[in-house]
Every structure is written in structure tokens, then in C-alpha cells.
Amino acid sequence: MVCPTYNRSEAITRTIDSVRAQTVEDWELLVVSDGCDDDTEAWVARAAREDPRVRLVRIARTGHPSGPRNAGLAGARGAYTAYLDHDDTWHPHHLHVVLGLLEGGADLAASGCEYRDAAGAVAAGLPPLSCCWHRQLQLMGPMFEPSRVAHRSGLVESVGGWRAGAGLEDWDLWLRLADAGHTFATALEPTAVLLTDGGTRRHRMARPHRMPLVHLADARSAHTLLGELRTGRYDETFRAACREDMREWYADMVRDGGFVRPGDWHGDLGDEIDRVVGGAGRLFEELVLVPDRGRFALARNLLCARPEHARRATALLPAVQPRQLRLLTELAEEAGRTGRVNAGSRQPVRPAGGTAEGENARRC
């Protein structure tokens, strides 16, 4: 197990203690200090004296978790590798769950999780759709934080290791592994507790890439469209389109044989789509307006690490969100023609019904 840390001080002991409490006892934990200059290393050394399965590894400061993770991989000696970020913890059965998936033949395993704030209160639930996996899902959105993941040792090195840079390094790595033909097995059972807080690195990261959704000829039309979308009056229409897009997309992924659902979840994907999409909050708040090749685009910010990744996701988008993009195009044309959008001019898209496969609400 690899735990990168920087200036966590005594709080690192909660993370280490959650490993020491595992029902699986045959493990080794490498806590990799990324040039800590506080007393974190002393606390890790104390834990190592109490439990020789804990090892302190020191490296020069890199300023990015990929550096200590790669250092941990270089020193790891087990057949499997798991990750645990220094502000997360595991429930006692975490290793039992992910090892069960790996020993069942999976290359990579991901468990469910609980999201908690700094005070320890539950901040968000994890819908079953967020534990589904397919190579297209891996391309289109970030999945499986490192503290939920374990894999066969050697896999990560075979695709170039963890990479530093802007963007989510876990999204980048899991996609490279998927491109190499490796697949996840998943469990919905929450075995990891993840900190979600405005002060965490994920919330502070710049958004280096954007996914254009629709182009408009001038800034005025673009501002008009974005303002109208954010009023909420089109939410019902777009939710209906999102639901149908998701149903069709997931049905295609299931048919191609590469779709993975959590092994411990037997619910109906169509019902889960309806639940998640119907419970989504206000839409379009995350959209930005950007100049793009002499025009103006409404776009989504992406946390992917590489421009090639952003290009691939943008290229796939029309195939997986055709109804939503068609609605945006129609509204954009109206805004460009008249300088306004008529709220009554678009009727909700009616679901066609039938069997369906789902996605989480982020796809809307």
C-alpha cells in the first residue's frame, strides 16, 4: 500500500491506524514523505516502531502526489498495490473487498466510498452508477479516487507510471490503463472514507482544458444563451434529453460486452438513471463562455491532464449526448437569429421507454 503525504502532522496517524485495523493482516504500508518539513515523519516513524508493517520512505519535495506514489511503487514488494491518500481512511474490511475482486481475476479493483467533510459529517452519497465502469465512461469523466483503488503490481509501471502536471493524475492513469486493455472490477459497498472539502487539492486545481458544446457567432448571443440556460426554465427539457441519451449510451456499452457493474449491486440501471437524473440540481452552472477560433463557445471545464484526452472526449461527445447537443444547437441558432431565446419554444423530450442503462448526473 502506498500513502503519499506532505505536512499532515499527527493527523496522519488516523490514516495509518485505519490500515492497521484491517481484517486482512498480510500487508505492508509505505508512507512516502514528499519532503515534509513539519513533524509528520516523526509520527510515521512512531507508528513504524509500533508496527513493522509500516515503513517511512523519504523523497525530495516534488509538490505533486505522483512523485511519492511512484516512489512507493518502486519500493513495494507485494503482488497487489493499493493507495490511500493521507487525508482519507479505510473501513476495516476495505482490503478484504478489493483483494477479493483482484483474486477473482480483475486487473484493477475499486470499492464504494463515503464522502465526509472536515467535521466528519456525511457530505454526499455514492450512487450505484458511479461504481459502473466502461472504457468510454473512463474517457468521459473522472472515476475512482486513488483511495478506492487497488491493482496487480507492475501494471502502472507498464504504462509509464503516475504522471505529474495539471489535471487529475488518477483520471489520466486509469485511462492509460484502459487504453492498454486493462479493466476494473468494482464493488458498491463503501469501504473507504474520503475527505471532500473546499481546501482539498482537487477543489483548488486549475481547469486546464475545455470541452466546447456549442458555438455562437458573437459574444452577445453567447451571453444571452448562457443567461437563459441558467434561469432554470430549460432544466426539465434537458433532463429528459439527458435521460434518453444516457439510456441509449449505456445500452450500447452493455451490448459491446465491456460494461462492468458493481458485483454486489443488482438494481435496475434504468430505474437508477431516472432516480439520479430526476434528483439533479440546477443545470448549466458549470458552463463557461470562451473565445474559440473566431467564435464563442459554451464549454465545460475539464480536469483531465492532457490535451489529447480532452480532444478524445470532445470527439466522442456527439455520439453519447446527441439530444442534449441538438437542443443546445437549436437554442443557439435562435439566440443568434433574434438575440433572445423564447422559453416556450422548446418542448421536453419524451423518453421512448424500454430497457435502459444509466449514467450519473454529471453526464447531463
Q: Mean pLDDT of all residues in the chain?
A: 90
Dihedral (C-alpha) 60, 63, 69, 70: value to the nearest 10 degrees? -60
Instruction: Provide the whole-model pTM.
Output: 0.90
Tens digits of residue pLDDT in 174-200: 999 999 999 999 999 999 999 987 666
Q: Give pLDDT tens digits for 79-98.
A: 999 999 999 999 999 999 99
Say yes or no to pLDDT of 354 above 60.
no
Nearest one of 262, 142, 148, 259 to 207, comparing CA atoms: 142
* CA count, 13 A, side-chain hemisphere, 281: 4
Q: What percent of the chain has pLDDT over 90?
A: 81
Question: For the residues 321-325, what does the mean pLDDT come to?
Answer: 97
Helix (H) or strand (E) holding 69: helix 66-75
How far separated are the first and last CA of the chain, in Å rounded? 36
- CA 294 and chain centroid, separation: 32
Range 305-310, long-range pairs (CB < 8 A, 24+ positions): 305/163, 305/165, 305/166, 305/167, 305/168, 305/169, 305/171, 305/172, 305/208, 306/167, 306/172, 307/209, 309/139, 309/167, 309/171, 309/172, 309/175, 309/209, 310/209, 310/210, 310/211
Residue 350's pLDDT is: 38
| Domains annotated on the chain, with CATH | 2-203 (3.90.550.10), 209-363 (no CATH)
Q: Which long-range contacts (CB under 8 A, 24 or more apart) does 197-206 make?
A: 197/117, 197/118, 199/118, 200/87, 201/65, 202/168, 202/303, 205/166, 205/167, 205/168, 205/303, 206/166
What type of residue sits at position 174?
W
Taking the C-alpha atoms of residue 281 and residue 278, their distance in angstroms, rounded to an integer, is 9
**Residue 357: what pLDDT?**
32
Q: Write the CB contacts of 197 (distance below 8 Å, at least 6 apart in sequence).
A: 117, 118, 203
- Are the beta carbons of 262 and 187 closer than 8 angstroms? yes
Question: Taking the CB of residue 15, how many other CB atoms lie within 10 A of it?
Answer: 24
Highest mean pLDDT among 33-42, 200-209, 353-362: 33-42
- Structural element, H or E, at residue 228: helix 219-229
Alpha-carbon gap, residue 72 to 95, rounded angstroms: 18
Q: What is the average pLDDT across 311-320? A: 98
Q: How far is CA 126 from the centre of its chain?
A: 12
The vertex-168 CA angle with 163 and 174, nearest 5°, equals 70
Largest pairwise CA distance in the chain: 73
3-class SS shares of the chain: helix, strand, coil, % to 5: 40, 20, 40
Burial-class residue 223 by CB neighbours within 10 Å (0-12, 13-18, 19+): middle
SS3 150: strand
Here the cell at position 88 is: 482519507
